[in-house]
Amino acid sequence: MIAFLKTTWHAVRALPSNFIHDREALAITGLTLLPWLVLWIYRRDVNSLQPLTWIFGFIAFYWLIGHQRPPKPAEVRRPRLELLMALALAAVWIIYRIGEYWHWYTIPIFGLSNSCGPIAETPLPKMIEMFLLPVMLLLILKYSLSQMGFNWDKFSWLAALLPILALIGFGLTRHTPEALAISSACFFFGAGLPEEFIFRAFIQTRLEAVLGRPLWAVWLASFIFGLSHVPIDLAGSFSHWPDALLTAFTYQMTVGFAMGYAYMRTRNVLPLSLIHTLIDSAF
């Protein structure tokens, strides 16, 4: 423990200097913060920047506990082909959402509904398109569940324990236990699990293999993650497009970057799915 604290102290002291001399980290940080600068100029409200402190606190936490543990390289067999497949699935989902919110078609609900609303509107198609279909494709390509990002690695679960407990505690200050539990169940299948799998375990890892630069892969995957939320933020109307774009490329994209960074450090999609779920349900 003493050795860990000493090496951590030295790493923290060296961090500013290392960061300043790391052009890649500087470029990615600048690109990530640029939309937040636009948001502040647009709204002139310092409070709008508050989520940024929580997000970077989450990144700092995962860096702090994992800086002595080199990230495990992603196991990818056919990087370009698999990246094309992953991006195609993300594109299909974006088109599906555009069609839904612009009323190009009516989604039959087949009587499937519960306290979350119509199951056939979001949870069912998202689980099929973002989770079940890509898992089946990867199984066909002879990937194991562990290689897909599903494992019981102790480090990844212990790392997620503090954020999970903090989010549960925060959620209970805003919701009753029953409401939080129901909302969490809805968001787990409607957002947490499918989105973390497709954007982190599938797209991000293939970008890493193709680019050979893990941090750029995290940023690009988070950009696509933010882009996928634009149809939802617009909700079928261009009347509020500045707010919709700023929401997608500030809060949603930066949360995606934080989750991607944590995935790069842990290679386990399950605890991150729970964290993602609780972010949606607690707030």
Give per-residue pLDDT as tens, 88-119. 999 999 999 999 888 887 776 655 555 566 65
Out of 85-89, 116-120, 271-275, pick the least confident: 116-120
Out of 5-14, 56-65, 132-141, pick the least confident: 5-14
pTM of the full structure? 0.94
281 is written with which tokens?
């349900």
pLDDT of 6 above 70: yes
Give per-residue pLDDT as tens, 230-258. 999 998 888 999 999 999 999 999 999 99
C-alpha to C-alpha distance for 4 and 11, rounded to whole angstroms: 10
C-alpha to C-alpha distance for 232 and 225, rounded to whole angstroms: 12
